[in-house]
């Protein structure tokens, strides 16, 4: 059984640029969530996708957007990068939308200069 | 505001001993789930244990058990017979029923000494 995989593992961008992070969900999971984990903090919920539709969003501005594809893989896009966007971005998949039982990837470390 | 507080930034334990990690949370909801997640240095978060708020019985998973005090909004994790592989960041979290949005605490770093 293949777990959650994310790419890239590390990347460096400059302020104002755009970034796309990718996530392949665990086999059989139709729900994907994205979290932002700043250094020394717990993860913060960005949004969740279920069957290609966003069905929940945290307190993040519209320049954070996402997609989910028919195979349940997902993308996180961040436009107009700011220094504070530097963080570990975690993708998590789940077989259900409501249990909180999440299977996480290893994350994508984004550094904004 | 929905918050989770982990008052112990760091804890340490000797191998084979028992350690308890503290967590308090604040929610006005009556139906919710509580979790402990472990994040080893490899960064991949792993679910350790889950508790449904409507269940009075404390959840147990092998060496891991919780002490859930609903009225006090307290949810501590006890690790028995600690092993070197238990060394990690431990995050307490909760979600309101019907949703996968988890509210995480800031974490407790656990060191295990041989």
Q: A65-88: per-residue pLDDT in tens?
A: 999 999 999 999 999 999 999 999
% residues pLDDT > 70 (chain B): 96
Which residues of chain B are under the pLDDT cut of 70? 1, 97-99
Q: Residue B41 half-sphere exposure, CB side, CA atoms within 13 Å?
A: 5
| CB-based burial, B67-98: b 16+ in 10 Å, e otherwise | ebeeeebebbbbbeebeeebbbbbbbbbbbee
pLDDT in tens, A51-62: 899 988 999 999
pLDDT at residue B1 in the model: 65
User: If pLDDT is split at 50, 70 and 90, which confidence band does A1 have?
Assistant: low
Q: Do B100 and A33 touch (CB under 8 A)?
A: yes
B101 DSSP 8-state letter? -
From chain B, pick out residues whose CB is under 8 angstroms from the CB of A43.
45, 91, 102, 104
Distance from CA of A17 to the nearest CA of B (A): 26
B100 has a chain A CB within 8 A of its CB: yes
The predicted model gives A7-24 an average pLDDT of 97
Rounded to whole angstroms, the Cα distance separating A33 from B20 reads: 29
Q: Which residues of B touch A104 (CB under 8 A)?
A: 44-46
Distance from CA of A29 to the nearest CA of B (A): 13
pLDDT at A99: 77
Nearest residue in B to A3, CA atom:
B44
């Amino acid at each position: 059984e293949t777990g959650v995989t994310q790419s890239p593992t590390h990347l460096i961008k400059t302020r104002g640029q755009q970034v796309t992070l990718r996530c392949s969900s665990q086999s059989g999971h139709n729900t994907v969530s994205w979290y932002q984990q700043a250094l020394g903090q717990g993860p913060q919920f960005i949004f969740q996708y279920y069957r290609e539709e966003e069905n929940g969003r945290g307190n993040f501005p519209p320049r954070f957007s996402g997609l989910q594809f028919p195979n349940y893989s997902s993308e996180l896009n961040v436009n107009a990068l700011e220094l504070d966007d530097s963080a570990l971005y975690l993708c998590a998949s789940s077989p259900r939308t409501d249990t909180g039982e999440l299977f996480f990837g290893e994350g994508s470390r984004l550094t904004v200069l | 505001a929905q918050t989770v507080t982990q008052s112990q930034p760091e804890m340490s334990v000797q191998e084979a001993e028992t350690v308890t990690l503290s967590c308090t949370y604040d929610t006005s909801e009556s139906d919710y789930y509580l979790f402990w997640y472990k994040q080893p240095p490899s960064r991949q978060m792993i679910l350790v244990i889950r508790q449904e708020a409507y269940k009075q019985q404390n959840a147990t998973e092998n060496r891991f058990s919780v002490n859930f005090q609903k009225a006090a909004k307290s949810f501590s994790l006890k690790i028995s017979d600690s092993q070197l592989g238990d060394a990690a960041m431990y995050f307490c979290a909760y979600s309101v029923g019907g949703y996968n949005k988890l509210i995480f605490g800031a974490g407790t770093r656990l060191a295990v000494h041989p």
